[in-house]
Chain A
Amino acid sequence: MNAPQVPSIGRRAALVAAALVVLVLVPTFASIYQTQLLTYGLTLAIAALGFNLLLGYTGLLSFGHSAYFGGGAYAVALMMRYLGVSSMELFILGGIAFSAALAALFGIVCVRHTRIFFAILTLALSQVLWTLAYKFFWITGGTDGLRVPFSKLTLLGGLVGFPGADAYPRFIAFYYYYVLAAFCVCVALMWLIVHSPFGKTLQAIRDNETRARFLGVRIWRYRWLAFLVSGIFTGLAGSLWVPLNGLTTPDVLYWPQSGKIVFFAVLGGFRNFSGPIFGAVIFNYLEVYAVAVTEYWQITLGVILIALVTFLPAGVVGTAAQLSAWLKRRRGAAA
C-alpha cells in the first residue's frame, strides 16, 4: 500500500484555516438543532482525539475509556450537587483533575500489559467504576443520575449565564463557541504532543518495542504518560458533554460507551491524526439519524458499521486520503 502523499505545510495550513472558518460560521447558517448536534460531535471528537493517542500513536487499545469520559462527567455533576459550584471553568478543572487521578491510577495497573490483556484490564476497571456509580445511589443518584442543568451554569468566570425563559437557543449559540474553542486548543495541543520528541518516542515504541528498549527508552513510563494524557483529554470531553445532556447517568461509564469511543477512531481511521475527529462527528450523526429514522436502528447501525469496516479498511479519512492520492497519481500519469 502506498503511503498517501503528505501535503505541504502551506496547503495543510490553508485547509485547517478553511475548516476553522466554516466551523466558526456554522451557527450563522445552521439551525439551533444542527448547531447543538455539532456541539455534541465536537465534545466526542475531543474524547476520540485523546483515545487515539493510545490506539493510533502508542498502539494500545483501551476498552475502558468510558471511565474517563464518565469520570469527567460525574466530576462536574458531583461538584454542582455537593459543592454548589456553577462555573464551567471550575468544572473543567475539576473534571481534568478527577480524570487525571483516575487515569494515573488505572494507568499504573494497565500499562504493564499490552494487546488484548491491556484492553481487558481497562475494561474491567471501567466496569468497577460503573458499579460504584450504579450502586452508591445515595451519592450518585443511581440510575436516575445527577442533573447538570445548563441554566445553573456560568461561563467565562461568571460573565455569562443562561437564566430565564428561552435560554436554550442562547445557551447553544454561546456554548457552541465555547466547545469549539476548547476543541481547537485540544487539537493544537495534541498536534504538538504527537509531533514532539515524546510523541515520536511513543510511535517508535508502537512500531518496534524491542528496538525502542535497546535504545534506552523507558517504555513503561512513556506508556503511562500517554495513558494519563489520553485520560485527561477524554475526561475533559466528558465534562464539556454533560451540560449538553443535562444529566449524567451510569450509562456513560458502561462498556458500550467505551465501545463507541473505539468506534470513533476506527471509523475515521486511527492511523490519521484527524481520523478520530471525523469518526466521532460522523458517528454522532449516524447514531442520531439511525434512531430517528427507524425503530430497527440497531440493525441499521450494525449494517452500516460492518459495511464501513469491511469496505473502508483505513477509515473514512484514511480512505479519502488514499483516494485523493490515487486521483493525483492518475492525473499525473495522464499528463
Chain B
Amino acid sequence: MAIRQAAPAVRVRKKKTMEIVAVQVLNSLFYAAVLFLIAAGLSLIFGVMGIINMAHGSFYALGAYVTAWSVAAAAAAIPPAALFIFLPLGAVAVAVIGLAIEPTLIRPFYRRPEEYQLLVTFGLLLVLDDVIRLVWGGTPLTANRLVDFLGLVQIGALPYPVYNLMMIGVGIAAALGLWAFVYRTRFGVLLRATAQDRRMAAALGIDVGRVYALAFGLGCFMAGLGGAIVVPSQAAVLGMGVEVLVVAFVVVVIGGLGSLEGALVGALIVSALRTITIQFWEETELAALYLIAAIVLLIRPTGLFGRKS
C-alpha cells in the first residue's frame, strides 16, 4: 500500500525552523509562569505552616472560574481594557476564601500529626470541586476577550498572542514581587522566622496565628492568580484543579519543598522538559515528568533548593 503510516514508525523530521523554536520557548515560559504561581503558593504554605495543601489545585481552578465568570458578567458594561482588573480581582477573591478557610478548617490541625492536615485538605479538595460545579455548572467558561483585545504579534510567520507575552511578564513580576516581599519586608522577616522555628517566633512575640493566616492567604492568592491569568488563553473546565495539582507537586518536589527559588527553577525545568518531550518524544511526556522527580529525589531528597529536614 502506498500509505506511509503504521503508528509512530514514519515521522517526517521537518527542519525545525527558528520560529518554531522561538514559539516553543515562549510556550514553555508561559506554562512555567503559571506553574510557578501555583507551585510557589504550595511551597510557601508548606514552608511556613508545614502543610501540604492538597486543595491547592482547587484554589487555582477557583481563580479561573471567578475571573471568567466576572469577565463575562461585566463584558457588556465596561470597556475591554478595564476587564483586566478582573485578573487581580479573581486572585483576591480566592485569597479571601483562603483567609476564611484557614482559621475555621485548617487551624485546628496545627498541633496534630501531618497526616491529618493532608486529609483535611484532601476533604477540602473534594468539597471545592463540587462547589465549583454547583455554582457554575458543567459548561466551560471562557474569557478570550482579554486575549483578543491585545491582539497578536508575528514571530516569523507565526502569530503569537500578546496576552501570553504579557502574562510571562506577570509571572516574572510575581516572582520578583514575592522575593522582595519575603526578603525585603518586615512581614517577610516574620514569615521566615515563623517558618524556621514556630515556637521561637511565638516566644519572641510574633503573632503566629496571624502569620499563618496571611501565609495561607498569600498562597491562595498566588494559586488564584495562576488560574486567573490562564483562563483567558484557555478555558475554565471542571477537573482542571486536580490536573494541575499533580504537576505543581512535581515542580515543588524537584525544586525543594518550602523554597521559592526551588519553585521557580522547578517550574522552568518541568515546563521545558514537557515542551521538549512533546516536540520530540511525545510518548515519554508523563514518564519523563515522574522519572525526573524520582531521580532528583534520589540524588537530593530535599529537592534542588530544599533545606534538610
A121 located at the interface, meaning its Cβ lies under 8 Å from any Cβ of chain B in the complex:
yes
A-contact bits for B110-138, CB 8 A (1 contact / 0 none):
00101110111011111101110010000
A313 & B112 in contact (Cβ 8 Å cutoff): yes
B253 & A299 in contact (Cβ 8 Å cutoff): no
Stretch of B197-205, B266-274, B282-290 with 4 or more beta carbons under 8 angstroms from chain A? B282-290
A24 located at the interface, meaning its Cβ lies under 8 Å from any Cβ of chain B in the complex:
no
B175 located at the interface, meaning its Cβ lies under 8 Å from any Cβ of chain A in the complex:
no
A131 & B286 in contact (Cβ 8 Å cutoff): yes
State the total of A-B contacts with C-beta under 8 angstroms: 99
B78 located at the interface, meaning its Cβ lies under 8 Å from any Cβ of chain A in the complex:
no
| Bound form: Cα–Cα A303–B119 in Å | 11
| Bound form: Cα–Cα A303–B115 in Å | 17
B303 shortest CB reach to chain A, Å: 9
| Bound form: Cα–Cα A128–B253 in Å | 14
B114 & A299 in contact (Cβ 8 Å cutoff): no
Chain B hits for A116, CB < 8 A: 52, 114, 257, 309
A306 & B287 in contact (Cβ 8 Å cutoff): no
Secondary structure type dominating chain B contacts? helix
A152 shortest CB reach to chain B, Å: 31
A109 & B298 in contact (Cβ 8 Å cutoff): yes
**Count, chain B residues at interface, CB 8 A:** 37
Chain A hits for B116, CB < 8 A: 266, 309, 313
Stretch of A5-13, A139-147, A165-173, A255-263 with 4 or more beta carbons under 8 angstroms from chain B? A255-263
A298 & B112 in contact (Cβ 8 Å cutoff): no
B302 & A117 in contact (Cβ 8 Å cutoff): yes
| Bound form: Cα–Cα A68–B295 in Å | 20
Chain A hits for B131, CB < 8 A: 299
B119 & A135 in contact (Cβ 8 Å cutoff): no
Given A117-B302, A255-B246; A302-B127 close (CB under 8 Å): yes
Chain B hits for A134, CB < 8 A: 286
A121 & B301 in contact (Cβ 8 Å cutoff): yes
B270 shortest CB reach to chain A, Å: 13
A53 located at the interface, meaning its Cβ lies under 8 Å from any Cβ of chain B in the complex:
no
Sorting the interface of chain A by its residue count into under 10, 10 to 19, 20 to 34 or 35 or more gives 35 or more
A180 located at the interface, meaning its Cβ lies under 8 Å from any Cβ of chain B in the complex:
no
A-contact bits for B52-67, CB 8 A (1 contact / 0 none):
1000000000000000
Given A61-B114, A259-B122, A313-B112; A306-B127 close (CB under 8 Å): yes
A113 located at the interface, meaning its Cβ lies under 8 Å from any Cβ of chain B in the complex:
yes
A303 & B127 in contact (Cβ 8 Å cutoff): yes
Chain B residues engaging chain A, CB cutoff 8 angstroms: 52, 105, 108-109, 112, 114-116, 118-120, 122-127, 129-131, 134, 246, 250, 253, 257, 283, 286-287, 290-291, 293-294, 297-298, 301-302, 309
Chain A residues engaging chain B, CB cutoff 8 angstroms: 55, 61, 63, 109, 112-117, 120-121, 124-125, 127-128, 131-132, 134-135, 255, 259, 262-263, 266, 270, 296, 298-299, 301-303, 305-306, 309-310, 313
Q: List 28 A-B contacts (CB under 8 A).
A: A55-B115, A61-B114, A61-B115, A113-B301, A114-B309, A117-B309, A121-B294, A121-B297, A121-B301, A124-B290, A127-B290, A128-B294, A131-B287, A132-B287, A135-B283, A296-B134, A298-B127, A299-B134, A301-B123, A302-B124, A302-B125, A305-B120, A306-B120, A306-B123, A309-B120, A310-B105, A310-B109, A313-B116
Please name 14 further chain A to chain B contacts, defined as beta carbons within 8 Å, in addition to the given A116-B257, A127-B293, A299-B134, sorted by A numbering.
A112-B301, A117-B302, A124-B253, A127-B246, A128-B287, A131-B287, A266-B116, A301-B123, A303-B123, A303-B127, A306-B124, A309-B116, A309-B119, A313-B116
